[in-house]
Amino acid sequence: MEVVSDDESTTPPTAPPPADRGRAAVTSRRNGLGQNSRATEGGSATRPTQEFHAVPSAPPAATVATPPPGESLPDDRYFNRELSWQDFNARVLALAEDTSLPLLERAKFLAIFASNLDEFYMVRVAGLKRRDETGLSVRSADGLTPREQLEYIAKRNQDLVERHTGAFELHLRPALAEVGIRIVSWSDLDDPDKLRLSNYFSEQIFPVLTPLAVDPAHPFPYISGLSLNLAVTVRDPEGGTERFARVKVPNNVPRLIRVEQQRDNRQATFLPLEELIAAHLGELFTGMEVTEHHAFRVTRNADFEVEEDRDEDLLQALERELAQRRFGPPVRLEVAQDMSEHMLELLLRELEVDPHDVVEVPGLLDLTCLHQLSGVDRKELKYPPFVPATHPAFGERETPKSVFATLREGDVLVHHPYDSFSTSVQRFVEQAAADDKVLAIKQTLYRTSGDSPIVDALIDAAEAGKQVVALVEIKARFDEQANITWARTLERAGVHVVYGLVGLKTHCKVAMVVRQEGSMIRRYCHIGTGNYNPKTARLYEDMGLLTADPTIGADLTDLFNVLTGYSRQDTYRNILTSPHGIRRGILRCIAEEIEHAGAGRPAGIRVKCNSLVDEQIIDALYHASGAGVPVDVVVRGICSLKPGVRGLSDNIRVRSILGRFLEHSRVFHFRGGDSYWIGSADMMHRNLDRRIEALVRVKDPKLAGQLDEVLDSALDPRTRCWVLTSTGEWAPSPAEGSEVRDHQHVLVERHGASG
């Protein structure tokens, strides 16, 4: 979700832009509050999404054959992954600019854009800076050095920030005010409101604040990552030099303070907390004259790696690293646009921030606070209420069947959030915990909710005497501390907790129930694309296969032996796993499609994923295109593949769907081989080389038909989306004036989900 000038493409020119991201370059932008309507590096994605423009039709069949496997492909065949991510965040921003969406949903997308950007800087930009500072000369797949990538990112980010702030200050903020939801400044309040809020400040905020002076006796204070702060200059009115102080805006009280004393569902006025503090700085610096104050915010490197030692407790090693995370070096300094030169220079010097890492914000800092507006009770300003439907296989009957009886009749494919998670996957685990015939439950946990019924069920099962194994991935980024807490809670209940494999993250979503049925043992399994998290299962689009297939049960038994023991198995019957099998298996499927096309048989590849970055997979798709295999990709985020390039990717089309739900499932269809796969792995190096992932083949023709319907809907020419062009533009589709359908709304209706 990002912005640059119209003539800029996602493929950077050979020479990097000049390193002009210092103060002078920033200052030159102070001629408007993000009022430009320039496109993203990919073009139209920066415009409001209702401004659809025609998408060029697919080019004719290739006239220049792609080199066969083994021969060289063009050096410039990849888009830069970091700039592609910025394109993705620009598409999120475009949703916030879309006037056809409900107002409070648009505010939510502004908040999502901001939180996305925070994480991008903490991880991706931090990693690039570390490589640049250590002198590592590793170039990206498109040939850029870390320094060149950082320069492109900084340039585009300033434009995006201006556009992001402009979307709020110039459009959304006035639109919200028109319907009675106002975010105001202290000067906008009348005297009774000021008096009431002054009392609130004295009673609730003032005792929490700690102004920190900076002088020879008081060194510059540590500024924690993502904290909002006020930089303050004070002066003795009787003479003397100016002094600098820092006041941290507390993060344990609401950022947006409700102004009204009597709450009205139709009216809601909010005052940013930093405005309230700024209005009362005189109480913090009694007897001094406050001459200047400005908001600022620091983002720190959170991209750490645990130094794993086979002889060391991984839990302790991770806790040690977590304690160090908050002391990571700064990677971004956000400042109010009206901050004075001397104050900015002081912050740069004391924080040791590169001027290239300064981002001037022409408005309210840290718009993640707009998530708070979701609490306003204005249903007409939000998406219609959504209640997932119970999957027909688990629907109410006169004599309800257990999940296990249902799975003995055949496999079930669940599609969240349209199919209820609580009445399918959650019920599967809960019934297993309560069933006297169940002997064991084995499950991976990558992320789960704060009050997880899945964890509660595992605890109940262990306390009932069942063998319960939980592989808790304590290295799940930004959920490390929560997962450590879960791990210890599970251990205290008697669950066998495993923390994963040294050097690898366990990202696969698998669960297995072992049940005694007469004289035989039967295994019931779930393999999914999303986490065992009932909260995100209502927001993320994901799929899962529930099955009693003996061969899949045998596969998961072998996989859990790898995860919990010393087994080194990497080949299975009906699943593919990384780090050894998924890339190999996908490449084999692509090669088979090339063979089908060469023999004149039907062939085709359809991929739905979050990111497509892996060069080996991309090159194989280029070869498939050259062999005449049609390739369709639906990607939510990053895409390094260049579609529609004559002689390289004539037969490849790429589109992106964003909307109410976060498209998260990974689905692969190979037409000639008549094979369908779903699972946890994206086509990225980290997933294929540094994680334990699992894909399962969906063999049941009825379930394959359901996957067909989802892919057909996503790829329907009428479906609202963005289409990636050969030059890197993300063009809204279909053309303005054409019939438009919403893929997610169609699936809501198809599954019978209700309001």
**DSSP-derived 3-state class of residue 130:** helix
Closest CA to 643 of 660, 618, 679: 618
CA pair distance 549, 551, nearest whole angstrom: 6
Catalytic residue among 356, 391, 415, 507: 507
Q: Which helix (H) or strand (E) holds 274?
A: helix 273-279
Where are the extended beta strands (E) located within 446-568? Answer: 467-472, 496-498, 505-506, 509-517, 520-528, 540-547
CA pair distance 514, 510, nearest whole angstrom: 13
Half-sphere exposure of 327 (CA within 13 A, CB side): 5
What amino acid occupies position 69?
A: P
CA pair distance 647, 76, nearest whole angstrom: 13
Q: Which two tokens stand for residue 72?
A: 């060289």
Q: How many CB atoms lie within 10 A of CB 549?
A: 20
Closest CA to 32 of 162, 175, 184: 162
Residue matched to tokens 């809204």: 732
Task: Give the orientation angle of helix 103-120 with respect to helix 81-97, to 10 degrees.
Answer: 160
Question: DSSP secondary-structure letter at 480?
Answer: H
Q: What are the residues whose beta carbons fall under 8 Å from the beta carbon of 196, sequence distance 6 or more? A: 261
**DSSP-derived 3-state class of residue 661:** coil
- Is the peptide bond prior to 174 cis by the omega test (within 30 degrees of 0)? no
Question: DSSP secondary-structure letter at 516?
Answer: E
Instruction: Output Rg (C-alpha) for the chain, integer angstroms.
Output: 27
- Residue 160: phi and psi, rounded to 5, are -65, -40
**DSSP-derived 3-state class of residue 340:** coil
Handedness of CA 554, 559, 561, 567 (dihedral sign): positive
Where are the extended beta strands (E) located within 168-227? Answer: 181-183, 212-214
Annotation says 415 is catalytic: no
Task: Give the orientation angle of helix 146-166 with respect to helix 126-133, to 10 degrees.
Answer: 150
Half-sphere exposure of 499 (CA within 13 A, CB side): 22
CA pair distance 273, 177, nearest whole angstrom: 19
Which region, left, alpha or beta, applies to residue 68 given φ > 0 means left and ψ of -120 to 50 means alpha? beta
Closest CA to 369 of 189, 182, 158, 115: 115
Residue matched to tokens 């600098």: 244
Closest CA to 585 of 594, 595, 599, 575: 575
Q: Let me know: does 96 contact 110? Beta carbons within 8 Å.
A: yes
Residues involved in catalysis: 507
